[in-house]
């Protein structure tokens, strides 16, 4: 019996995963900290996505992301982003709008700050209108983005 219990514990422990976020961590840091740490913060739309067997940089999802409002950085045209299709990574929808925080690379990890939007945002005014909506829970938390965008 002791052998069976030990075997089960060994098998379960081998299949477990452990992750640790480095300098940036969306689980413990506020948006303001991510605005400070990120090299680029862009709001935009997912134009294309591919899930492939061949992994680039350890990620199996390649997204084409079209920036519509630059919060920080200088990206102005479509950018290729890499992420994973497995939890705890964010899921992206084709045509979906997101604020994505990039930290010196085009990788969107489970530690990266990603904020979903219900509508496309292409100006500071649209962002302000969106944040002031009362019918969408939690959008008031996006206010630091508005404060960061220059009028």
- Specify whether the CB–CB gap between 51 and 60 falls below 8 A: yes
pTM for this one?
0.79
Mean pLDDT in residue range 10-14: 50
- Specify whether the CB–CB gap between 71 and 145 falls below 8 A: yes
Measured CA to CA, the distance from residue 65 to residue 78 in angstroms comes to 5
- Specify whether the CB–CB gap between 98 and 114 falls below 8 A: yes
Looking at residue 145, its pLDDT comes to 92
Q: 99 phi and psi, to 5 degrees?
A: -100, 125
pLDDT tens profile 66-104: 999 999 998 888 999 988 877 777 788 999 999 999 988
| Pair of tokens at residue 126 | 């649209």
Mean pLDDT in residue range 41-46: 95
Closest CA to 38 of 95, 113, 133: 113
Average pLDDT, the chain: 82
């Amino acid at each position: 019996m002791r052998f069976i219990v030990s075997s089960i514990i060994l098998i379960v422990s081998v299949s477990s995963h452990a992750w640790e976020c480095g300098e940036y961590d969306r689980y413990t840091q506020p948006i303001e900290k991510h605005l400070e740490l990120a090299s680029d913060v862009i709001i935009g739309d997912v134009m294309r996505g591919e899930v492939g067997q061949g992994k680039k940089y350890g990620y199996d999802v390649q997204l084409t992301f079209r920036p519509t409002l630059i919060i920080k950085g200088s990206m102005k045209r479509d950018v290729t982003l890499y992420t994973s299709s497995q939890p705890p990574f964010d899921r992206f929808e084709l045509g979906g709008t997101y604020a994505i925080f990039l930290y010196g690379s085009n990788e969107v990890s489970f530690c990266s700050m990603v904020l979903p939007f219900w509508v496309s945002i292409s100006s500071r005014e649209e962002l302000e209108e969106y944040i002031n909506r009362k019918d969408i829970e939690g959008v008031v938390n996006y206010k630091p983005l508005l404060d960061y965008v220059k009028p």
